[in-house]
Structure 1
């Protein structure tokens, strides 16, 4: 495991207007730069900025492209950054049925479109579930050159990221159209967010965007059991993979990251000291340092 990356103190959880370290706020455009049609025809919205080698950014559960509103502009200083809305939220479309393999195909479609334009393969960074989508896409196309995954490793067989019964609690809230209840339950029981951080998060201007996407959480938890997203399957990725791990994240994230790292033929791990599951918000400078140190 690599030496812990330098942390950035003074940042707040998922800040809506940038963070205390002086990092810029969000990729400002509210309109997609383009849509890319996935294999099943679903339009995937892409928000682009910057110039240089292309880097796709893939958000995690209950998010959209604004997840990268802090680190996106920082990465756009050296790269052309393409943050997507995953299917089922924001400006992207959806289908009547869902599987995580569709998400793999979505990312692969965006990568192939960008690679066809630039004439060279594309790098990708994914957070959490988005990291899993990035790894799955890397198995489907050689248009992806390198993968950065922030705590996106699947749990080992017989291990779960979430406590028993949480799926039923999430579906109960969803059936009652209580999307905020879905999100709060997910953040508290799956992500492991403290009550203080959760209350601060609920006061943040970004909270309504997260609530709007909360209906997609249960289907993504269900997809964790899919064989196509297993540690055995995603461990076959041959491209270089950087896994980023928060030094203060829940043990299940650490264990999964290390287990996947043992399977990858070209993988490395960087730990960001003091960070948990969202260092791209709380420790943006350290996150960008780790990413650029890998991508060069």
Structure 2
């Protein structure tokens, strides 16, 4: 049976319109995608998550159904997530679950202190300590590719040099329908890399967080990503790390059933 998709939007404090699609039925679950993507990057796992949840797949600002602000900072994205969670909580009268991936997980992490309406949160490899990991020449090359309109080359270059993605996984991403959306979102890559480079993780900001948090980690992800997960687990009371065996940064694409089982098992706990 095809589940009808409905289009919605919420207003962020700076007036930016955050668009999202809603499918499925059950408790509300917000999906916040990472860089070089839009809401459709969740397509491989959406049918699995819809079975027990009303899934709200967000377009982060500057792409898809969402508008953009005049000046970009990651703090505005924290506010976007919190505003959407609060709107859905008012509508449904209860707490909201949120799943964030990569840079989107960083945006969710920043929203934890801005809303009291979170029920459970899943964070998949947020880049806590990207500062200094990305050489300035990489960002300059991305700027150059984008300025020349070579969006597809910029996306591939990002995954090779920044994510460290093997060619077999990159070939898989190219074959997915969401690849064209990644190419369309390419102009946001450089600004988000600069924001991640300027980001400084402050464990003290998480002391008041009380909602349960699951930290997803690819079993084959590189050492700095594993250290980020351990650091975040120490800072978040009641959080735990779940390792996805044989996976790296895009288990939604490479092992969708494994990924969805881990997420739904955590969200369905009482």
Whether TM-score is above 0.5 comes out as yes
Counterpart of 1:173 in structure 2 is 145
Q: Answer whether contact 2:113 2:206 (CA < 8 A) is retained.
A: no
Contact 2:25/2:52 (<8 A) preserved: yes
Higher deviation after alignment, 45-54 or 164-173: 164-173
Matching of residues 197-216 of structure 1 within 5 Å = 197-216=169-188
Unaligned runs of 5+ in 1: 1-23
Cα distance in 2, alignment partners of residues 269 and 213 from structure 1: 30
Aligned equivalent of 2:34: 60
CA contact (8 A) 2:125 2:225 kept: yes
Larger relative contact order (C-alpha < 8 A, sep ≥ 6)? 1
Map of 1:115 onto structure 2? 89
Aligned residues: 267
Partner of 1:70: 44
**In the alignment, what sits opposite 1:17?**
none
Choose the corresponding residue for 1:143, options 117, 121, 134: 117
Q: CA deviation at 1:27?
A: 8.1
Counting helix residues as a fraction of each chain, which structure ranks higher?
Answer: 2
Which has the higher mean CA deviation after the structures are superposed, 203-212 or 45-54? 203-212
Q: CA deviation at 1:182?
A: 1.7
In 2, distance between residues paired with 1:182 and 1:163? 15
Q: Secondary structure at the match of 1:54?
A: strand
3-state SS of paired residue (2:142): helix
**If the length of structure 1 is used for normalisation, what is the TM-score?**
0.84
Secondary structure of the 1:104 match is: helix
| 1:230 matched to 2:201 | yes
Residue number among 65, 81, 85 corresponding to 2:59 in the alignment: 85
What stretches of structure 2 of length at least 5 have no aligned partner?
none
- Runs of 4+ more than 6 Å apart: none
Query: For the structure 1 residues 177 and 294, does the alpha-carbon distance in structure 2 shift closer, same or farther, using more than 3 Å as the test?
Result: same
Q: Say whether 1:36 aligns with 2:17.
A: no
Deviation at 1:195, TM superposition (A): 2.5
Distance 1:27 1:277 in 2: 28
Contact 2:8–2:20, Cα closer than 8 Å, also in 1: yes
Q: Paired residue for 1:241?
A: 213
Q: Secondary structure at the match of 2:119?
A: strand
- Structure 1 window deviating more from structure 2 (230-239 vs 122-131): it is 230-239
Deviation digits for residues 104-153 of structure 1 (CA, Å, limit 9, x no counterpart): 11111110110001111111001111111111111101012221001114
Cα distance in 2 between the residues matched to 1:46 and 1:40:
18
When the two chains are superposed, the root-mean-square deviation of aligned CA atoms in Å is: 2.1
Equivalent residues of 2:142, 2:190 under 8 A apart: yes
- Conserved in 1, the CA contact under 8 Å of 2:41 and 2:178? no
Tell whether the 8 Å contact from 2:24 to 2:51 is kept in structure 1 after alignment: yes
TM-score, normalised to structure 2, is 0.91
CA distance, structure 1, for counterparts of residue 21 and residue 202 of structure 2: 30
